[in-house]
Amino acid sequence: MVNKTTNTRTVVANISLSLDGRTTGAGGDYDMSWIVPHAVTDGTRNNMIAVTSLATTVLLGRKNYQGFGSYWPSVADNESADARDRAFSSWLNSVEKVVFSSTLKDAPWENSRIVNADPAAVVRDLQKQTGGNIIVLASCSIIKRLLEADALDCLSITFCPEVAGGGTRLFEDGLPASSWMLRQSKATESGALCLLYDRIRERK
């Protein structure tokens, strides 16, 4: 995934969606029960490694930073864990993590820093720096802000065959119109679809 239009760092959003377009379940922000059966398949694990492998900066909201930070750091050293999960953990420990929060005071996870700023402005600054892709991991609020600013180059969506019945929507009314081209579609063993879309900014 390379930004061929500007030759700057490619900005990728990675997220799971239900059939009714939710990023969380009806139980609230931490209701991810409908995602779990699809997150542990070979297809989804392979897709996660592929999508994240070129990234050197991760963008996270406070809730995902705290949730990821309570689980992933130690997986790298867990010999009983799936090899791909250990690889993802090692990668996540090593990359720069930019955490968007107005309330967090400390970011103890290695290579983390807290910012209280507009995500689009932060991305513009990051794109001026040397590095690999910039990826948003499952942080719906950050992805929405970047969609509003037309600051995303790629959308990586794991489309799960579940109706959540409530919860947060990613694509709310009021987002600016945009066009996307499907680059890749892979079905997983659970019936989820791993979809990769590239932003189309110029029509031929």
In this structure, is residue 22 part of a structural domain? yes
Check which CATH number belongs to the domain holding 15 and give it.
3.40.430.10
In this structure, is residue 3 part of a structural domain? no
pLDDT at 8 (0 to 100)? 82
Cα separation, 167 vs 59, whole angstroms? 22
Is 21 exposed, middle or buried, given 0-12, 13-18 or 19+ CB atoms closer than 10 A?
Answer: middle
User: The whole model's pTM is what?
Assistant: 0.93
Residue type at 129 in one-letter notation: Q
In this structure, is residue 2 part of a structural domain? no
In this structure, is residue 74 part of a structural domain? yes
In this structure, is residue 119 part of a structural domain? yes
Residue pair 11/58 in contact by the 8 Å Cβ criterion: no
Look at residue 30 and give its three-state secondary structure.
Answer: coil
pLDDT higher than threshold 50 for residue 4: no
pLDDT band at 203 (very low <50, low <70, confident <90, very high): low
pLDDT higher than threshold 90 for residue 204: no
For residue 17, give its domain range.
11-200
In this structure, is residue 1 part of a structural domain? no
pLDDT at 97 (0 to 100)? 98
pLDDT higher than threshold 50 for residue 139: yes
pLDDT higher than threshold 90 for residue 76: yes
Residue 52 phi/psi, 5-degree rounding, is -90, -15
80-101 confidence digits (pLDDT tens): 999 999 999 999 999 999 999 9
pLDDT higher than threshold 50 for residue 121: yes
User: How high is the mean pLDDT of the chain?
Assistant: 94
b (16+ CB within 10 A) / e for 159-169: bbebebeebbb
Domain count across the chain: 1
